[in-house]
Amino acid sequence: MGIPKIWVYAEAEGDKPATSTLELLTKAREIGDTVECVYVGVNADALAGALGEHGATKVHAVDGGDVLAGVVGAAALAALIATEQPDLVLFAQSYDGRDALSRLSVKLDRPVLTNGTDLKVDGDSVLIGTAIFGGNTLVDTVFEGEKPFLAAIRPKSFAAEPGGGAAAEVVTAAPGDAGRGAEAKVLERHIEEREGPKLEEATVVVSGGRGIGSAEAYEPLVEELAKLLGGASGASRAIVDAGWVPYSKQVGQTGKTVKPKLYVALGISGATQHLVGMKGSDTILAINKDSEAPIFSVADLGIVGDVHKVVPKLIEALKARG
Amino acid sequence: MNIAVCVKQIPDPATPGELDPESKTLKREGKLILDESDSYGVEMALQLADAAGGGEVTLVSMAPNNEVSGLRTALAMGAAKAILVSDDALVGSDSLSTAKVLAKAIERVGDIDLVLTATESTDGYTGTIPGQVAELLGWPSLTFAKHIEIADGKATIQRQTEAGYDVVEASLPAVVSVTAGVVEPRYPSFKGIMAAKNKPVDEVKVADLGLSADQVGWAGARQTITNIEAAPAREAGEKVEDDGTAHERVVAFLEQLKVI
C-alpha cells in the first residue's frame, strides 16, 4: 500500500532534469502509486524522457515567462492541487524549490517539513527524517492534518535510478495568479565557469577552511590537490563568508551536500554546519594543525599538521608519480 | 526608506544544541544571542537606509521569555527600534506560524518599504520564512541575494543560483533574503552599545497581533515528532602527527583507496 498520488516539483539544468529531481522521483516511485511532476519552464518536452524513465507518468508544464520560477510554481501548484488533489508534494531543498514551497504553504495554509534526508510511509502516515546537530541526531516527524503534505528533501538523500518507464506525458498547465509576487522578474542569467567535475557529483572533493590562512592559498593548495585527484574543490562556510571563494563552493548545511568516495578537508575545524554537508562521504581525510578539531572525530585518516607543510609535499609526491 | 529586518535570537551555536525530552523542541531557555546570519541583513539595512538619505531600520523578532540580548546587539549596530513578540502560546511554533507572527508584526510597525531576512536561521534552518512572510504580506520576494541595489522604487538583486547568479528585480515594497557575505557586518561601537540600552522595544503578545492561539505554537504546527535517536556514529580512524613525512602516509592511503 503506497501513497496514491505523489507530485515532484521538477527543476532542470539546461535540457536535463536536475539530479535532485531524479532522486525524488526514484523515491516517489518506490512509495507512491501514481507519480507526476510539475515543472516551470518551456522545455518540458526535452525533459519528459528522463522524468518518465525515473517514474513520472505526467509532467504538468507551466510557462512562467521571465517571472521568478518558484513564484510561478507556487501559484500554478495551488491551482492544480485544487482539482488534482495529490497526497504529497516533494521539493528539492534548492533555491527555486524553497521559493515554491514557502509560498505554496501559505496559499494552502499547510505546514512544511524541510531538510528531509529520509522519507517513509507507514499506513496513512508520511514520515520525514531529518538529521540535526551536524547529523549526530536523527528526528522523525509525521504530518498531521489535511493533505497534501509538503516536504523539501536535501539533495543526495536518495540515489537516482532509472526504472525503465516510458516518457512522461506533457500537459500544459496555467501559471495561476501570483499576485504582486509576479513582479519579481529575471533580467539576466550568469553561469559561472567551472573546471573539472561538478561539486555535487565528483567522486573526490577537496575542501578548504580557515586553516588555509588566506584567499591566495586556495588555488595552490585546494584547487591544485583537487585537480591532481580528478576531483572538485569545495569550501567551508567560514571562507565563503570571508569572501575568499564564491558561495557555489560551500559545503554544509547552508551550502551543498556532497557524498563523494573521498572527501579531503584541509584546514577545516569541522563545525556542525560543515559536517552535515559531508558526513555521508565514503571516506574522509582531514589535515588540520589543531589535534582537538572536531573534524578528526569523523575522519578515517587524520593528519595533525600544518596544511602549508603537508599539502605542498603531497602535491609534489603526486606530481612525481606522473 | 523604512526597512524591517527579521532577526532571530538563538542559543549560542558554539555550545552543543540539546532537545528538550518533554517538548522535543530545541532548548532555548538560556541566554540567546543574535543569529550571525541575521547580522548581514541588519548591516545591509543600515547601509541601504543611509544611501537612501533617511528612514528607520526596525528589528522584528519572536523569542521566548521576552529575550532581548540579541536585539540589543543589533540595536547597538545602529537599528532604531525593535518589535518583539514573546508569548507562551508560541512554544512549538513551526515556520508557517512563525511567518504569520512576523508578517503581523511587520504590519504593526507599518510604513515599511523593504523587509530583509537571512536565507535561513542557524539553529532551525527550515529556510521557508522569507517566502512565507512575502506571501502573507502579498509582496514580491527576491531570495538568496548576494548583492542588492535600490533605485526608483525598485530592488534589484544578484540572486544565487545552482549555476551562478541571476539578476532579478521587483518593485517595492518587497521582501529580500540575503546570503551571508552580502556585506561585512560592523562591530557595535561602545557608543552604539550604550545608546542601544535606551532604544525602544515594543513587546507584544500574540493577541495584540490579531492572531488566535490555535494558529500558532503546537496547535498550528500540525506535525508530530515520533522518534529521536542518535545517528550511527562515524568511527574516528587513524590519527597521525606530522613529523615531516605525513604526506607519505596520505599517498599510501590514497593508493589503498585506489584514488591514485
Return the pLDDT at B75.
98
Q: Which residue has the cell 524541510?
A: A114
Please give the average per-residue pLDDT across B212-223, as a whole number: 88
Q: Which residue has the cell 528589528?
A: B59
Residue B94, chain A, CB below 8 Å: the answer is: yes
The three state secondary structure string of A54-89 is: CCCCEEEEECCCCECHHHHHHHHHHHHHHHHCCCEE
Of the pLDDT bands very low, low, confident and very high (cuts 50, 70, 90), residue A124 is confident
Of the pLDDT bands very low, low, confident and very high (cuts 50, 70, 90), residue A45 is very high
Return the pLDDT at A136.
80
Cross-chain CB nearest to B128 (options A102, A141, A306)? A102
Cross-chain CB nearest to B251 (options A99, A181, A314)? A314
Residue A229, chain B, CB below 8 Å: the answer is: yes
Asked if the domains at A3-183 and A204-321 fall in one CATH topology, the answer is yes
CA distance B7 to chain A (A): 17
Asked if B247's CB is within 8 angstroms of A310's CB, the reply is yes
Contact residues, chain B, for A189 at CB < 8 Å: 161, 164, 166-167
The three state secondary structure string of chain B is: CCEEEECCEEECCCCCCCECCCCCCECCCCCEEECHHHHHHHHHHHHHHHHCCCCCEEEEEECHHHCCHHHHHHHHHCCCEEEEECCHHHCCCCHHHHHHHHHHHHHHHCCCCEEEEECCCCCCCCCCHHHHHHHHHCCCEEEEEEEEEEECCEEEEEEECCCEEEEEEEECCEEEEECCCCCCCCCCCHHHHHHHCCCCEEEECHHHHCCCHHHCHHHHHCEEEEEEEECCCCCCCEEEECCCCHHHHHHHHHHHCCCC
Structure confidence by residue, pLDDT tens digits, B107-152: 999 999 999 999 999 888 899 999 999 999 999 999 999 999 999 9
Asked if A204's CB is within 8 angstroms of B240's CB, the reply is no
Please give the average per-residue pLDDT across A233-261, as a whole number: 91
Contact residues, chain A, for B168 at CB < 8 Å: 68, 184-187
Q: Is the complex ipTM more than 0.85? A: yes
Q: What is the pTM of this model?
A: 0.92
Return the pLDDT at B220.
83
Kindly tell me if the per-residue pLDDT of B30 is higher than 80. Answer: no
Those residues whose C-beta lies under 8 Å from the C-beta of residue A118, and which sit 6 or more positions away, are A127, A128, A129, A130, A138, A140, A157
Which grid coordinates belong to A8?
515532484
Kindly tell me if the per-residue pLDDT of A194 is higher than 80. Answer: no
Q: Which of A83-97, A234-248, B93-107, B142-156 has the lowest mean pLDDT?
A: A234-248
Kindly tell me if the per-residue pLDDT of B234 is higher than 90. Answer: no
Asked if A74's CB is within 8 angstroms of B135's CB, the reply is yes
Give B 12-51 residues with CB within 8 A of chain A.
Answer: 13, 16-17, 19, 24, 37
Alpha carbon distance A44, A92 (integer Å): 18
Please give the average per-residue pLDDT across B175-183, as a whole number: 91
Alpha carbon distance A66, A72 (integer Å): 10
The one-character DSSP state at A223 is I
Q: How far apart are the first and last CA of chain B?
A: 58
Spell out the domains of chain B, with CATH numbers in brackets.
Answer: 3-221 (3.40.50.620)
Q: Which of A99-108, A219-228, A306-315, B212-221 has the lowest mean pLDDT?
A: B212-221
Asked if B144's CB is within 8 angstroms of A300's CB, the reply is no
Residue A298, chain B, CB below 8 Å: the answer is: yes
Chain B's closest residue to A240, CA to CA, is: B181
Instruction: Count the helices and strands in chain A (H runs, E runs).
Output: 8, 17
Percent of residues, chain A, with pLDDT higher than 70: 99
CA distance A38 to chain B (A): 19
Cross-chain CB nearest to A183 (options B135, B170, B259)? B170
CATH of A3-183 given 3.40.50.300, 3.40.50.620, 3.40.50.880, 3.40.630.30: 3.40.50.620
Asked if A310's CB is within 8 angstroms of B166's CB, the reply is no
Asked if B126's CB is within 8 angstroms of A95's CB, the reply is no
Q: Where are chain A's structural domains? A: 3-183, 204-321
Locate the DSSP E strands across chain A: 3-10, 12-13, 16-17, 32-40, 58-62, 88-92, 112-122, 125-132, 137-143, 149-153, 169-173, 185-191, 204-208, 232-235, 262-266, 283-288, 301-304
Kindly tell me if the per-residue pLDDT of B21 is higher than 90. Answer: no
The residue among B123 and B201 whose pLDDT is bigger is: B201
Cross-chain CB nearest to A186 (options B146, B166, B179)? B166
Q: What is the mean pLDDT of chain A?
A: 95
Please give the average per-residue pLDDT across B85-113, as a whole number: 96
Kindly tell me if the per-residue pLDDT of B16 is higher than 90. Answer: no
The one-character DSSP state at A251 is B
Residue B134, chain A, CB below 8 Å: the answer is: yes
Asked if B99's CB is within 8 angstroms of A181's CB, the reply is no
Instruction: Name B81's bridge partners.
Output: B58
Please give the average per-residue pLDDT across B34-40, as a whole number: 95
The one-character DSSP state at A230 is T
CA A267 to chain centroid, in Å, comes to 24
Residue A182, chain B, CB below 8 Å: the answer is: yes
Interface test with A, best of B15, B123, B156, B247 (most A CBs within 10 A): B247
Which grid coordinates belong to B242?
606530522
Return the pLDDT at A236.
96
| CA dihedral over A43, A48, A54, A57, signed as positive or negative | positive
Kindly tell me if the per-residue pLDDT of A114 is higher than 90. Answer: yes
Q: How many contacts, defined by CB atoms under 8 Å, are there between A and B?
A: 265
Beta strands A3-10 and A88-92, pairing class: parallel
Inter-residue contact A272 to A132 (CB < 8 Å): no
Structure confidence by residue, pLDDT tens digits, A205-217: 999 999 999 999 9
Which grid coordinates belong to A222?
585546494
Which grid coordinates belong to B220?
498550528
Which grid coordinates belong to A162?
532509472
Contact residues, chain A, for B236 at CB < 8 Å: 296-299, 302
CA distance B220 to chain A (A): 8
Domain over A204-321 is classified CATH 3.40.50.970: no
Residue B179, chain A, CB below 8 Å: the answer is: yes
Q: What is the mean pLDDT of chain B?
A: 93
Return the pLDDT at A72.
97
Q: Which residue has the cell 517595492?
A: B172
Interface test with B, best of A236, A303, A311 (most B CBs within 10 A): A303
Return the pLDDT at A1.
60
Beta strands A3-10 and A32-40, pairing class: parallel
Which H/E stretch holds residue A46? helix A44-53
Asked if B141's CB is within 8 angstroms of A95's CB, the reply is no
Alpha carbon distance B4, B22 (integer Å): 35
The residue among A133 and A175 whose pLDDT is bigger is: A175
Asked if A298's CB is within 8 angstroms of B234's CB, the reply is yes
Please give the average per-residue pLDDT across B216-233, as a whole number: 88
What is the edge-to-edge ordering of all strands in the sheet holding A232-235?
A: A232-235, A204-208, A262-266, A283-288, A301-304, B238-241
